[in-house]
Chain A
Amino acid sequence: MSAEPNSMTPNYYTAKGFCFTSAFWMILATFAGLLGATELMAPDLTENIGWLVFGRIRPIHINLVLFGFVTPGLLAAACYILPKLLKTELFSEKLGVVTVVLWNITLVAIVVTLAAGYTQGREYAEMIWPVDMGVVAVFCLLIVNFVMTVKRRTEPILYVSVWYVLAAVILTACTFSLGNIIWRPDTGSLKGIPDAIILWFYGHNVFGLLLTPLSAAVTYYVLPRACKTPLYSHTLSLLGFWSLIVVYTHIGTHHLLQVPVPTWLKVIAIVDSVAMVIPVMAFLINIWYTVQGKLGEIHADVGAKFVFTGTIMYFFVSIQGSMMSLPQVQRVTHFNNWVVGHAHIGVLGFAGMIALGGLYYILPKITGKPLFSRLLADFQYWMILIGVVGFTVVLTIVGLIQGNAWLNGEAVYRILPSIHIYYVARASIGLIVFTSALIGVYNVIRTLTYQPKESAT
């Protein structure tokens, strides 16, 4: 691994901290998923252990995946990418380390409070007010650090990855505060239908304004670098960036199409959900044309391999998502495991793959030594790929069984036996993904700590 010439040798403490954070919390996040899946197949396995009840494990799984595994993984890459692209150092590694520590404290608080039953009961906005404050604080610290890094740049041009990182942290700080109703510390919610509208506005923006822009930022950096090729089109990056912010933010109400909310709002949500094709394809065409004919280079770098696979998953999950916003489709897909499958393609297949890709791409660069084991990283890649495809197939089948049965008058209880075997399959696949997280954290820790032999370059 040839280190790029650099007069300073930055220590990248923040990026390393986020790498470890992501790899570590991926273990607990996937374990919570595995446990929840197991409880659906064997409900008395954890009988009367209150803090392990499915209704508490599920939000722990989701919040840890979002804020423990994927977001820190993407931020690790961002903390390396920004200084590189701006030809400067991160504004303050100290502040960065404080952010990482505070982030981990917040994650511990998320697990403890949710397991103890302290929740605001709103999907994606469960955390109680003090924990919300921790999240807001880390985003504010990130904004300061990133904006100041941009201000101190020696490179006049802002590359598209920089736009995405800035927009992600700034807009998420806003929508998180809004969606969690942080001006009402006691309940963190509104009353009635307005609460649902604001919740799903925020809930969908966790993907739209946090995971997607950060993933795009990492992709825009990793793939052209790995392929040693310039970006295909500046115009497409502009189109993709601005249309993402305009379109994605409109679509949250597609979660409420079967609920008594104003029809005009549903129309906006459906139209913009279909219009998501614009930002998605602008980004993907740009990236895919950039790497055209360079699959060999992508395959040579395990980080780029993860990231490229993530872009394919992004294509699939986005087209699927646009389709799922159509009311006729939702008659079958709403309220069942189809949607759970969709979420797994998006968060594990797209954002999770890219978070891991960014992590494996930067690890050799921030440690100045090769990845501890390329084999283990490849092994993890295949386990996650099999996991995502497996979840998709199994959960989509379950969703179709449930949705079609309900639509034709079957009771929820009656079809439980027909989906049981799929719950077993899903838990088994969860075991694969959990195992891959164990392999990943071992690889990350060894990479951060091992001493390469003298002969290594």
Chain B
Amino acid sequence: MRMTLSSVVIGSLLILFAIIFIAVVLPYADTNKTVPSEIFRSRDAVEAAGRKLYIANGCVYCHSQSIRTIDWGLGAERIAQAGDYLADQPILLGSARTGPDLSQAGGEHPDDWQIAHFINPRYVRPLSIMPAFAYLGDENIKKLTAYVQSLGLKDADRRMARQRHWKIEATKAYEAGPVANVKWLHDMVPEGWRNVPNPYPTTEAGLARGHKIYQDNCLGCHGPIGDGMGPAQPWIYPPPLNFTILKDRDVSGGILYYQIMNGITGSAMPYFKRELESEKIWDVGNYVAVYFIGETDANADPRGIDASYEPQ
């Protein structure tokens, strides 16, 4: 084959146009008929403004919005559908998970947690490598928060309604004073859990593990000495719990375990069921009990069957 100017130019252009037809035009015709999914709703003006900030600051480079069948983490209960993205211009699927997927981030945390997290992510998540966004200013952070709280659309709205409902309850309890607050917190734990002591004895190794888990996950709000004065405290309301006033208030290992595992919706306390396995939750609970509360029920009665490997 002898190549001429026209064979190169016209030939390659013809091929390109044919392939654009196959790989762009036909898929467009196919996907353009997508109907809204059951969670679809359009965004309000504040959420849309927040989305613009999300784009301008390159959030998309670290956060995907694309839940896959093989996912376990945040939002994995709902696989992404084409109908979720109908209003997204541009679509922000993302190509990397340097941070978590945000498809269903709306309502995962209350607004105050989100704002503290934007001011500096390490205030609430000590290991985070996300940049601080305090430079955006309070107004913009509110918009960005509104956008993040809309992720998941109608699903997010349901979670946000839950957050708002419990925020009122948690605030009421906090403002009624420590006694009422502790009672409320205990009442929120199902009866069966409240009487369960930490089944494992206090050991040096266990406390060391608890110390590390506390530093990696809890210190931002509850502070290095457990008095609730971590760096996130100025942004959080009701403020992070002060563990040092909990002595003689019947805080059982079971209560600590349940609240670490499940979080306290409405307050900034997130759940850790995805990130901490069972032993880690017992360990950090016992660390808080021993060092900050000043009393522990570790290995106290009632005990069930002994674990096969535990020290005395």
Contacts and interface: CB of A to CB of B under 8 A. Distances in A.
Interface in B30-77: 30-32, 34, 54-62, 64, 66, 68-74
Contact of A187 (B5, B60, B73, B89): B89
A167 B8 contact: yes
A195 B12 contact: no
Interface class of chain B by DSSP: loop
Nearest to A256: B93
A54 to B, nearest CB: 5
Contact of B88 (A166, A191, A197, A410): A191
Q: SS class of chain A's interface: helix, strand, loop or mixed?
A: helix
Interface in A304-342: 331, 334-337, 339-340
B56 A118 contact: yes
Interface stretch (A11-19, A44-52, A74-82): A44-52
A120 interface: yes
A40 interface: yes
Interface stretch (A90-98, A171-179, A280-288, A425-433): A171-179
Contacts of A47: 120, 131-132, 134
A163 B82 CA distance: 40
Given A43-B130, A166-B9, A336-B97, A193 B58 contact: no
B278 interface: no
Nearest to B88: A192
Interface residues of B, number: 77
B280 to A, nearest CB: 10
A66 interface: no
A40 B11 CA distance: 46
A106 interface: no
Nearest to B17: A174
A262 B30 contact: yes
B275 interface: yes
A339 B82 contact: no
Contacts of B275: 411, 413-414
Contacts of A158: 3-5, 8
Contacts of B1: 238
Given A238-B1, A411-B100, A55 B62 contact: yes
A194 B61 contact: no
Given A121-B90, A197-B27, A268 B22 contact: yes
Interface in A404-419: 406-414, 416-417
B89 A191 contact: yes
Contacts of A195: 88-91
B96 interface: yes
Given A191-B88, A259-B80, A336-B96, A55 B73 contact: no
A429 B302 CA distance: 57
A409 B59 CA distance: 24
A201 B57 contact: no
A197 B89 contact: no
Contacts of B15: 242, 245-246, 249
B85 A117 contact: no
A265 B16 contact: no
A56 interface: yes
B307 interface: no
A250 B18 CA distance: 10
Q: How large is the interface on A (under 10, 10 to 19, 20 to 34, 35 or more residues)?
A: 35 or more
A104 interface: no
Interface in A178-211: 178, 187-199, 201, 209
A258 B122 contact: no
Given A54-B61, A163-B3, A335-B97, A413 B68 contact: no
A253 to B, nearest CB: 7
B58 A417 contact: no
A119 interface: yes
A193 B89 contact: no
Contacts of B9: 147, 166, 170
A438 interface: no
Nearest to A174: B16
A197 B68 contact: no
B261 to A, nearest CB: 14
Nearest to B272: A411
A83 B308 CA distance: 81
B207 to A, nearest CB: 20
A402 B82 contact: no
B135 A409 contact: no
A58 interface: yes
A40 B19 contact: no
A339 B23 contact: no
Contact of B23 (A249, A331, A416): A249
Contact of B95 (A49, A193, A339): A339
Interface of B: 1, 3-5, 8-9, 11-13, 15-16, 19-20, 22-24, 26-28, 30-32, 34, 54-62, 64, 66, 68-74, 80-82, 85-100, 120-122, 125, 127-136, 216, 274-275
Given A47-B132, A119-B58, A163-B8, 13 more contacts: A43-B122, A48-B134, A56-B57, A123-B61, A150-B5, A151-B5, A166-B9, A194-B28, A249-B20, A256-B93, A258-B69, A259-B80, A411-B73
